[in-house]
């Protein structure tokens, strides 16, 4: 597990640097800078909208007496996607947009729920009260 994390820690910045070099070679340095700023602004706007939507669903489920487990995981996806959208880079923007976008978010939710389930079965996941 730690090896995967270290590999991603090295690979993602290298891919981002390559992306900046490639895109700036195609459209120019200032246009690349502007594109990064615009994607961050659009990402913030989309994230705010989706976070409000998910939060409203969580509140509705709680008021009806249901436990909003899946919606809370969706909220985590939206939050992580928003953080990735604020991080400069094209790879992180692509992952961030897919985490925030409602049609692709269930893919991430599925894997997060599987990860949580596996941790709970192994006894490696602790809930503090």
pLDDT digit string, tens, across residues 66-110: 888 888 899 999 999 999 998 889 999 999 999 999 999 999 999
Determine the average pLDDT of the residues in 19-28.
Answer: 94
CA dist 53 and 47 (Å) reads 10
With tokens 């390559």, the residue in question is 18
Tell me the C-alpha to C-alpha distance, in Å, between residue 38 and each of 17, 46, 123.
18, 12, 44
pLDDT of 49 > 70? The answer is yes
3-state secondary structure of 11: helix
Q: What is the pLDDT of residue 9?
A: 85
CA dist 116 and 120 (Å) reads 6
CA dist 94 and 12 (Å) reads 12
Determine the average pLDDT of the residues in 18-32.
Answer: 94
Determine the average pLDDT of the residues in 42-59.
Answer: 93
Task: Please tell me which residue, 124 or 102, carries the higher pLDDT value.
Answer: 102
What are the strands, taking DSSP E only, across 2-59? none
Q: What is the pLDDT of residue 83?
A: 93
Q: What is the pLDDT of residue 104?
A: 94
Q: Provide the mean pLDDT of the chain.
A: 90
For the CA atoms of 116, 91, 98, 115, what is the dihedral angle to 10 degrees?
A: -10
pTM for the whole structure: 0.81
Confidence of residue 1 (pLDDT cuts 50, 70, 90): low
Determine the average pLDDT of the residues in 49-68.
Answer: 91
């Amino acid at each position: 597990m730690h090896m995967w994390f270290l590999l991603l820690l090295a690979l993602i910045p290298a891919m981002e640097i390559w992306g900046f070099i490639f895109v700036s070679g195609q459209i120019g340095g200032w246009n690349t800078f502007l594109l990064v700023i615009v994607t961050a602004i659009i990402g913030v706007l989309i994230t705010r909208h989706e976070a409000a939507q998910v939060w409203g669903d969580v509140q509705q489920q709680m008021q009806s007496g249901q436990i909003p487990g899946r919606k809370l995981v969706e909220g985590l996806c939206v939050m992580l996607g928003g953080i990735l959208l604020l991080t400069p880079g094209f790879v992180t923007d692509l992952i961030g947009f897919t985490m925030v976008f409602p049609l692709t978010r269930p893919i991430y939710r599925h894997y997060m729920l599987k990860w949580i389930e596996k941790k709970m079965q192994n006894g490696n996941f602790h809930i503090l009260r």
